[in-house]
């Protein structure tokens, strides 16, 4: 059997499982482990989930910022710099009202306070609201079934959390609610590869509310 046919069969099987669970009631304590689909689309998506410079151009002067806590699991570039965060962004799309929980962490090489610095390296991106300014990363509220159809199934999943990771260690953790819609997500570039649910940092499993 070809890899393509295997991937198609696996996705069909997963959607069938979702259908069964929808009729029986979703149990967040249920652990799901599915074989990982080798899909270039998910790898490409994770390699660069957000065009940071393009995002900045459209959102200048609408985010607070400050020094970010350096989590021990964060990837650290080889050059000298600092971790910096953008948060409590205001009214970034017509779907938002007031302040939001969007949080972006970058590694800055140059001076602090230069929002348009094009040398920022994306470390983390998290949100719990639908936001069109995020473009392809705007996945909150999306059906997880549709996400699986586009990007394939997760190899590591438990308690409503689904984990993906790219070769450059940029990871994606998705929380899916009882209606099988994405409730929040977190992209984090890690300093190591993850092989099991227990290896996912505990802090990543809880949405990082700002404030």
Question: pTM of whole model > 0.95?
Answer: no
- Higher-pLDDT residue of 44 and 15 is 44
Longest dimension (CA), the chain: 55
Q: Quick: pLDDT tens for 156-202.
A: 999 999 999 998 999 999 999 999 999 999 999 999 999 999 999 99
Closest CA to 190 of 208, 210, 163, 211: 163
Position 22 pLDDT exceeds 70 = no
DSSP H helices in the chain: 3-24, 40-47, 52-59, 144-151
Integer Cα distance of 209 and 87 in angstroms: 10
Q: Quick: pLDDT tens for 50-73.
A: 998 888 887 766 678 889 999 999
Can you tell me the mean pLDDT for 16-39? 42
Integer Cα distance of 20 and 201 in angstroms: 31
């Amino acid at each position: 059997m070809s890899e393509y046919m295997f991937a198609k069969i696996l996705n069909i099987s997963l959607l069938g499982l979702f259908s069964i669970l929808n009729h029986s009631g979703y149990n967040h304590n249920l652990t799901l482990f599915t074989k990982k689909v080798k899909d270039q689309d998910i790898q490409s998506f994770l390699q660069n989930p957000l065009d940071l410079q393009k995002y900045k151009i459209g959102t200048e002067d609408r985010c607070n910022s400050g020094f970010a806590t350096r989590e021990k699991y964060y990837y650290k570039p080889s050059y000298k710099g600092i971790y910096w965060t953008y948060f409590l962004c205001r009214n970034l799309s017509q779907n938002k009202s007031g302040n939001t929980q969007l949080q972006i962490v970058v590694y800055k090489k140059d001076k602090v306070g230069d929002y348009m610095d094009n040398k920022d390296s994306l470390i983390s991106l998290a949100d719990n609201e639908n936001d069109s300014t995020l473009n392809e990363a705007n996945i909150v509220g999306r059906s997880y079934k549709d996400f699986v159809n586009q990007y394939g199934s997760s190899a590591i999943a438990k308690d409503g959390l689904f984990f993906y990771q790219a070769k450059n260690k940029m990871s994606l953790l998705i929380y899916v609610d009882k209606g099988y819609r994405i409730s929040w997500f977190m992209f984090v570039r890690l300093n190591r590869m993850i092989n099991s649910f227990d290896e996912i940092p505990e802090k990543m499993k809880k949405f990082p509310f700002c404030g």
